[in-house]
Amino acid sequence: MKTQYWSVDKYVDNIRNYPQISQAASLLKQNEVIAFPTETVYGLGGNAESDEAVQKIFEAKGRPSDNPLIIHIAEIKQLNQFAENIPDHAKILMETFWPGPLTLVLNKRAGFLSEKATAGLSTVAVRMPDHPVALAVIKESGLPIAAPSANRSGKPSPTTAKHVADDLHGRIAGIVDGGPTGVGVESTVLDCTEPVPVILRPGGITKEQIEKVIGPVKIDPALDDAGQAPKSPGMKYRHYAPNAPLYLVDGSREYIQKLITENEAKGLKAGVLTTEESKGLYNAHLVLSCGNRSNLDTVASSLYDTLRKFNESDVDIIFSEMFPEEGVGQAIMNRLLKAAGHRVLS
């Protein structure tokens, strides 16, 4: 398959008038799939009404079909076509956080969306991305767009168009390059069908931010239970993994260095995922910083790019520091645990 490329400056006025946007939207109307930037990661979008388009998403990603997709919209009025019985707290959250990195799970209105997009569930996960290029493409297409992250399934999510091309060139119809994304980790997913809303996936909007607006919410204890049908993307399978095995280390820098030394004595090239504060304290084959521990937003925005840099190296094993599970740290640790297949050394 020929993959078309378009470059779009997200700061231009009248972005919908750009021919690149029209061309990308035209492919969506033809049930092709394209990648485009959002404020979190690059998404792989297809017409959420079309079984054909949704199947192409799964095939391009190599993604299991029982994993539901998030539906992206550009205007609230689109929501009424495929969601019903929307609770008041969900409406308040839309007013507060949309457009933005918050996905809401709502009751699905039957007969509109592809059953493949929602994995046959009675619910639908939906969000409005906070990125001018994403909004322009969705508006121009006139469609609800099903869009998981634009990477091969299981690999680190893409935060640049190059990441998308590395994984999906020749597998999809087009890539809209709108520059690097901002937040760096995917949206928070909140189930609004329960009396007390439940966080199914931590992400760019924190539990604390949500509770300031609507009061208490729960964290789903079954977040990583592979035995149940997932209501949210990212709940069931190993995700975000670099090529070399990754281990999280719950211990001191001295303990991490001991692990490095032991493995290098066996002839393995060890990598370390750390922060600027500790970067100079390790003696290893490759030491990469993913931001500042004093500002976890920088870690979130660089995490996937750092994991992909390990793939460009010749490391055999990777050890990662751990992070406090507060604020966006909860999303960082969720992604790292999945990337490591829940392997923690302590």
d(CA 130, CA 151): 20
149 is in an annotated binding site: yes
201 is in an annotated binding site: yes
Q: Residue range 222-243: average pLDDT?
A: 60
pLDDT at residue 226, rounded to an integer: 46
193 is in an annotated binding site: no
Q: Would you place residue 171 in the very low, low, confident or very high pLDDT band (cuts 50, 70, 90)?
A: very high
pLDDT at residue 278, rounded to an integer: 96
Chain segment 34-89, per-residue pLDDT in tens:
999 999 999 999 999 999 999 999 999 998 778 899 999 999 999 999 999 999 99
187 is in an annotated binding site: yes
Chain segment 115-144, per-residue pLDDT in tens:
999 999 999 999 999 999 999 999 999 999
Q: In this structure, what token pair is assigned to residue 332?
A: 């960082």
289 is in an annotated binding site: no
All domains of the chain in start order, with CATH? 4-219 (3.90.870.10), 246-345 (3.40.50.11030)
Does residue 227 have a pLDDT over 60?
Answer: no
63 is in an annotated binding site: yes
72 is in an annotated binding site: yes
pLDDT at residue 63, rounded to an integer: 80
Q: Residue range 237-259: average pLDDT?
A: 91
Chain segment 172-186, per-residue pLDDT in tens:
999 999 999 999 999
109 is in an annotated binding site: no
Average pLDDT across the chain, whole number: 94
pLDDT at residue 277, rounded to an integer: 97
Chain segment 288-335, per-residue pLDDT in tens:
999 999 999 999 999 999 999 999 999 999 999 999 999 999 999 999
123 is in an annotated binding site: yes
Chain segment 27-45, per-residue pLDDT in tens:
999 999 999 999 999 999 9
pLDDT at residue 250, rounded to an integer: 97
Q: Residue range 280-295: average pLDDT?
A: 97
Q: What are phi and psi of 51, to 5 degrees?
A: -60, -40
pLDDT at residue 180, rounded to an integer: 95
Percent of the chain with pLDDT over 90: 89
240 is in an annotated binding site: yes
For residue 279, which amino acid is it? K
Best CA proximity match to 31, nearest among 48, 8, 15: 48
CA distances from residue 248 to 274, 280, 320, 322, 346 in whole angstroms, order as listed? 11, 19, 5, 6, 9
Does residue 238 have a pLDDT over 70?
Answer: no
